[in-house]
Structure 1
Amino acid sequence: MHLYCFILAALLGLSTARPLQYSFRHFCPTFDRRSAAPTSVHALNIGDFKVIAALGDSMTAAFAAKNTRPLGVIPLEDRGISFSMGGDSDAVTVANLIRHFQPELVGTSTGSQVAEICTSDRCPTVIRNVNQDGLNGALSGAVVATLQTELEYIQTEILRRDDIDFVHDYKLINILIGANDLCSGCSAFNNHPTPDEYQEMLTSVLDNIRSNIPRVLVNVILQFNVSQVWDLTHNIPSCQAKRAGGLVFECTCAFLGKDNSRRQMDDLAYEYRQRARNVVASYTRDDPSFGVILDPGFEGIELKSWPLDMLSTADCFHPSGLAHSTMARSVWNNLFRKQEEKSTNIDVANLPAIYCPTADDIIHTD
């Protein structure tokens, strides 16, 4: 996901894939929203959220998620179908599923646009497309050190917007980060935070959220082993051609490294996940205005068992629209499970139905 050459690379020989069915009509019965909001973030049902936001990288920005593109100058992010934040009509996303139960939900990202690229912690040159980004703070190329910059954007927007009651509205923030750190997480291209540094930076972001954003629940989503993209694609001629044209730089340790480099990536991914667990476990339920939960749903993903159309045809690396809808289903269903009951894998051959919550389904924070 390193994006040094993304705009050029995205223009190299894009193929046309069969149409992907990432749209939906959702028929879960709705329920009446409460007349008075609960007094604690630890007692929320899905209809209590008024605001949704996200921090992350190109996966949350839905880079190259739509597979069919015209040649020439093209938009590179499809934020409207982002698994966690997409607000495009009928896209299967966590945001749209929440909106089914809370039509007044705000913060979703929409449409397609040129990528907002960041390859450092501060990202001084990024110009936000506020109208389409919404509260999707993700930046393509982001690393864990970038999260503070993304959070500053979200905080500013939440305070600026007239459709958000900063003090009283309940907010859900999804965080998925680490893929770009892992892509430089091998000895051959050593430019990644240590597990201790990863834990420190994630803790700092969560502390910042707790101190500055009231009535917020944070969902920390564990990163899968990104190196597996190599296993799925390295024998595919169209993918080989794209990497020969420069797309190896999306994930140098996976695509330029050897088997040992990919094992180092996986070892680091394991350590990052363990540190994320430690961070989430360190927060208690004493604060009625702040909660943090852990979603292990991507942890056990085995990409070798996934069909190739789960990856974008633009780069054979990023999730396609079909994958985004599948990821959304996983995150959504896990929201309603107790921690010990949450799924840790996405079996694409046996996907569970989208869960239909009732007013009695509380988002568990213990």
Structure 2
Amino acid sequence: MDTVAGKRKSGGCPRVRVKTALLVFLLLPAVGFCGCTNDDKGLSGIRETRSDDVITASEATSFSSPVEPNSDCPEDEDEFGNETTPEGGDGYGSISGMVRVRAQKVMAVMRDALSGVPEQIRQLPLLLGYFPGLKRTQEEIPESRQFPCPLESGARSPKNPTSVHRLRPGDIRVVGAIGDSISAANGAMASSEDGLGLNFRGVSATGGGQATWRQYLTLPNILKVFNPNLKGFAKKSVRAPMDSVSSLNLAQNGALDEELLGQAKLLVRKIKADHSINFRKDWKLVNVLIGGNDICNEYCFIESDKDSPEGHRRQLELTLDFLKANLPRTFINLIHVPNIVHLRNMKSIPVRCYIRRMIFCSCLFGGADKGKADSVAKMVQGYWEMERKVASLPKYETDEFAVVLQPFFDGLIPPPLVETLFGTSPDLSYFAPDCFHFSQKGNAHMANALWNNMLEPTGNKSTPVEHNLLSTFHCPTKEAPYFFTRKNSLNFLRSGHQ
């Protein structure tokens, strides 16, 4: 006959498991985590370090989050079953080795304690926003690794080109960005709620130039390698909506289509006012990304066609017409609005993320109505179609002005699920703490994809989803040394040369 004492002796009481799990959970932050490829005690092979309140990365992962070897973790057990480390044969050759080994033992206890806990209870830490080891920054690329593209010849034209169809990376002298919070890198370096709402413009994929490509991969940081005299990128993160360090990254949180023209006018004024720029002769690159806020918070509440795909087209044309008439020698990257509908399928995210999403995108997350999500999906497709039409208009392809659609967001899908000690969760390392905007790591992957699109022919551009940072990184070649436009794309597809 089973008795209470008998049950306790067998260790079968779920209440004991829950108490043990909660106790270890409370102790874990003081111990830390170690993700090891040869040990399933780790948490997705991810760890986090901090320096001067800025998260620095120790591992770059793809959207599929592969686990890479970690030299800081204990190595295999010896023949007697003892854990070994590089510092000492028994794992205690140094204080750090001892801490790592004990951390593994704590995690082993926790894993056993959680084995009998129901999934709903086990996921409570995730729902409360506890993601130990979550790292939202790219891995710093070591000095021993060379820049992916050769710079000896062909990176810059011998003379400043007179045609946008013969524009090399090193010919770009000025870079700017207009649009919404995606380009402003809202919350990109935030590690908690306190950092949300801040614009970390210096790490923006389209307009940031903080540090170098080794720390923060951005399009301006890539261009700086080809032309160290590049101007216009944001230098650091800012708390104010706009200040001097924003430079020509003029994107604004919450910006709508109708505000894009005002940003374009400000861009032209600021370039004209900078006496270090030759307004007439220097080549400018302007990144345009807008439309997400119209889809998220406008079209389902305002009875007009202002936020329809047709309205999106009108505002884009007004802005591009102005830039064509007032900004000579300009290459425009028109970037597809992100497909936000995929975010609806992300489960097991912190409660605060559900709340923030209802604020950021009420048309999609304001209710559980599937029809609403379907409606938003149709709007996104409509916006994409209009962006394709605008980019193909002949009036935007002259010798000194070109608009090129960069469609890498076509391939955006929800992040993969990863296994943690607290259950299955989406890989949130690509997002800010609001699970909506992109983290610095997400911005780095955006920059990588945008750069690749610029070096791919129109009509044959990639929409990458899963790849490690820099695993695919295009370079100018002898046959295709220029950024692709519609005109030189036709030449290249016909003859193999631009």
TM range (shorter): 0.7 to 0.9
* Cα displacement string for residues 301-349 of structure 1 (whole angstroms, at most 9, x for unaligned residues): 1124472211112x11100111000010000011111012211242247
1:222 alignment partner, one of 336, 339, 346: 336
- Per-residue CA deviations over 1:98-147 (Å, capped at 9, x if unaligned) read 1111111100012111252xxxxxxxxxxx31x21111110011111110
Distance 1:262 1:135 in 2: 35
Deviation at 1:62, TM superposition (A): 0.2
The partner residue of 1:325 within 426, 438, 444 is 444
Q: If the length of structure 2 is used for normalisation, what is the TM-score?
A: 0.63
- Report matched runs for 1:179-190 at 5 Å: 179-184=292-297, 187=300
Residue in structure 2 matched with residue 49 of structure 1 by the alignment: 172
Aligned to 1:142: 255
Query: Contact between 1:285 and 1:365, CA under 8 Å: does it hold in 2?
Result: no
What secondary structure sits across from 1:339 in the alignment?
coil
Higher mean C-alpha deviation, range 90-99 or range 255-264: 255-264
Q: Is contact 2:336-2:407 (8 Å) kept?
A: yes
Aligned mate of 2:431, from 299, 303, 311: 311
Counterpart contact for 2:299–2:308, Cα < 8 Å = no
SS at match of 2:231: coil
Contact in 2 for aligned 1:148/1:205 (Cα 8 Å): yes
Q: 5 Å matches for 1:104-143?
A: 104-114=229-239, 116=241, 128-129=242-243, 131-143=244-256
Q: Deviations over 1:171-229 (max 9, x none)?
A: 11111111111103664676861111111110111100000000001010112211222
Cα deviation 1:245-275 (Å, max 9, x = unaligned): x552111012213221111111001001101
Gapped regions of structure 2 (runs ≥ 5): 1-127, 417-425, 487-498
The percentage of aligned residue pairs carrying the same residue is 29
Alignment gaps of 5+ in structure 1: 1-12, 117-127
TM superposition shift of 1:287: 2.1
Q: Contact 2:357 / 2:436 at 8 angstroms: preserved in 1?
A: no
**RMSD of equivalent CA atoms:** 2.5
Aligned with 2:317 (options 203, 225, 237): 203
1:15–1:304 Cα change, 3 Å? closer
Residue 294 of structure 1 pairs with residue 401 of structure 2: no
1:171 touches 1:215 (CA, 8 Å); kept in 2? Answer: yes
Q: Which position in structure 1 is the counterpart of 2:373? A: 262
Q: TM-score, normalised by structure 1?
A: 0.84
* TM-aligned CA distance change 1:104 to 1:68, over 3 Å: same
Per-residue Cα deviation, 1:267-290 (whole angstroms, up to 9, x for no partner): 001001101111111135762111
For residues 75 and 132 of structure 1, the distance between their equivalents in structure 2, rounded to whole angstroms, comes to: 17
What number of residue pairs does the alignment pair up? 336
Q: Is the 8 A contact 1:55 1:147 kept in 2?
A: yes
Q: Please say if residues 167 and 215 of structure 1, whose CA atoms lie closer than 8 Å, have aligned partners that are also in contact.
A: yes
- What residue number does 1:89 align with? 211
Corresponding letter in the other structure for 1:208: F
Counterpart-to-counterpart distance in 2, 1:352 and 1:72: 33
CA distance in 1 between partners of 2:248 and 2:454 (Å): 20
Q: CA deviation at 1:38?
A: 1.2
- The residue aligned with 2:481 is 361
Letter in 1 for 2:407: P
> Which of the two has higher C-alpha Rg?
2
**Matched residues in 2 for 1:15 and 1:61: separation?**
27
Amino acid in structure 2 at the alignment position of 1:66 = M
Q: Match of 2:387?
A: 276
